[in-house]
Amino acid sequence: MKALLLSSLSKVFKDIEPNENEFTSFSSLKNENFSFQLAMLPEADSETEISVEVVSPIKDNIAIYQVRDIPAGTTRYEDSDNFHYPADRKEFPELLMPAEGKISLVKGEWSALWFEYKPTADVCGQQEIIIKLSAGDAVCEKVFSLNLIDAELPKQDFLFTNWFHNDCLCTYYNVEPCSEEYWVIADRFIKNAREHGVNMLLTPVFTPPLDTAVGGKRPTFQLVGVKKDGNSYAFDFKNFRRYVEICLKNGIEAFEISHLFTQWGAEHAPKVMAEVDGEIKRIFGWETEAAGEEYTGFLAQFSVALREETEALGIKERCWIHVSDEPNEKQIEQYTKAADIVKKYFSDFNSLDALSDITYYKNGLIKTPVCSEDEADIFKGEVKNFWTYYCCAQTNKHLPNRMFAQPSIRNRVIGILLYKYDAKGFLHWGHNFWHVQYSKHPIDPFTVTDAGGGFPSGDSFVVYPGEGGKPLNSLRHLVFADAFQDVRALKLLEALTSRDYVLKLIEKGLDIPLSFTTYPHEKEWLLNLRKEINKEIQKNA
């Protein structure tokens, strides 16, 4: 059997022998997760069923996964750049399946095991990790050396939201919203999200009007109960409280109140269900004029109730209000009407929206604009708190992204850039969007990964629904979490030296300054940079 140790930034394809130097040692801070891989090629029938054993003082803290290929539908657009794998490749190493018992391999095909060190104790120093692959009497042994530096990553001091789609959980697992079965599943997925950097969670007070066809509907998921009596409304926050409780228990620090107006222009109200004369009915939706008297009156009453509830829970300062997602330059008049309503009734809340026309911010319509990466250099010098996002559109200009068909450095480099741009937050729309585009029907995320052809594979989710309501990680999910650990390591080095010192370090030897479109594309650059960051931390701690 051939076996080769690789970094977490490699992707092992079954038909290509990895052409890179072996990755046999690295360093990390003592409270940092760390991953590496072992690529394997069975060359005989006797090597297709193997057992894996880890011998190490830290073996109890090492999780082992088998990297499984997942099919891709759409991998890129016609105008996508060349920083992708070949267009004819339609399967990618993606799903991390917990490796238990014997591992099945295919003779003549490369595959990989993923090893993740999860620290739980105050362990420092050089740790030898011996990996033994056994197939009958044959044994293949590889050794990885991990140096745990006696320093700790600081607390994550910026916000990251990756939109958490509760309706998708309910649909896939066939459970009722806010049922006991739902709460168990949501708890597991929220915990997983937080473990991978998410510390701000989309909170659907009403069914989020996101990625929904005009006139269409998403499955109802509404945390706040409503009772309508004429023009008066009563609100029940029981489920909202339980959601907040689960979030706080799992370390979520901020609550992103779902959008109060429809996507792409704020022309209508979201779907709102209410009890009317003893029956549950939809009282607002696509037929509702956004700035109409009825919906405005509803928001006036809801704002009072939300303020009282969030103040009682002690989270009001950590709640963020949305107007509408991704309005364009032609929709500013309609957006202004909606934004004026929000400013009138929710002025003491934080607010943010994904939008990439600086005019919205300059006109005072939103406190925190979240621009797409390609507009970062325009917004950085203009806004008080810089946030950015990417989605399906950022597959050109070499912009960082997380698609199946993109090398992993394109996923992880975002951390270095967020530090350089002194970002206060990052947003993505797809933590677990298991629908086709516009939410017309659900999909099986293990076989349909491009939202039914709507987006390049990898845009709409980073976690998979495992058996028993347990989340399964993607390779991309862990690589992105490493990017946020990079930011925290840079913040630590800054505290030990200075920001100017760190900025010079991350651009050392580069011909042009780092930006969202200009950064080295070789994974060795990023690995060497992180090695240098760790060395500097150890020297200055």
**How does pLDDT run across 311-357, given as a tens digit for each residue?**
999 999 999 999 999 999 899 999 999 999 999 999 999 999 999 99
Give the pLDDT confidence of 363-398 residue by residue, as tens digits: 999 999 999 999 999 999 899 999 999 999 999 999
Q: Beta strand pairing status for 159-162 and 425-428?
A: parallel
The answer to whether residue 48 scores a pLDDT higher than 90 is yes
Mean pLDDT of the chain, nearest integer: 97
- Beta-bridge partners for 253: none
pLDDT at 139: 82
Structural contact between residues 56 and 37, judged by C-beta atoms closer than 8 angstroms: no
pLDDT at 30: 97
pLDDT at 371: 98
pLDDT at 136: 81
Rounded Cα distance between 258 and 157, Å, is 23
The answer to whether residue 177 scores a pLDDT higher than 90 is yes
pLDDT at 523: 98
Give the pLDDT confidence of 153-168 residue by residue, as tens digits: 999 999 999 999 999 9
The residue extents of the domains of the chain are 2-153, 199-366
Mean pLDDT across 3-17: 97
pLDDT at 489: 98
Rounded Cα distance between 74 and 449, Å, is 8
The answer to whether residue 138 scores a pLDDT higher than 80 is no
For residue 97, count other CB atoms closer than 10 A to its CB.
Answer: 16
Give the pLDDT confidence of 67-88 residue by residue, as tens digits: 999 999 999 999 999 999 999 9
Mean pLDDT across 200-206: 98
The answer to whether residue 100 scores a pLDDT higher than 90 is no
Rounded Cα distance between 448 and 446, Å, is 6
Rounded Cα distance between 434 and 263, Å, is 19
Structural contact between residues 466 and 472, judged by C-beta atoms closer than 8 angstroms: yes
pTM of the model: 0.97
Mean pLDDT across 417-444: 98
Mean pLDDT across 410-416: 98
2-153 homologous superfamily: Immunoglobulins (2.60.40.10)
Strands (DSSP E) found in 205-291 = 225-229, 232-236, 254-257, 272-276, 279-284
The answer to whether residue 487 scores a pLDDT higher than 90 is yes
Q: How confident is the model at residue 137 (pLDDT cuts 50, 70, 90)?
A: confident
Give the pLDDT confidence of 206-247 residue by residue, as tens digits: 999 999 999 999 999 999 999 999 999 999 999 999 999 999
Q: How confident is the model at residue 29 (pLDDT cuts 50, 70, 90)?
A: very high
The answer to whether residue 171 scores a pLDDT higher than 80 is yes
Per-position DSSP letters for 376-394, written without gaps between them: HHHHHTT-SS-EEE--TT-
Share of the chain above pLDDT 90, in %: 98
pLDDT at 35: 98
Rounded Cα distance between 50 and 201, Å, is 41
* Amino acid letter, residue 161: T
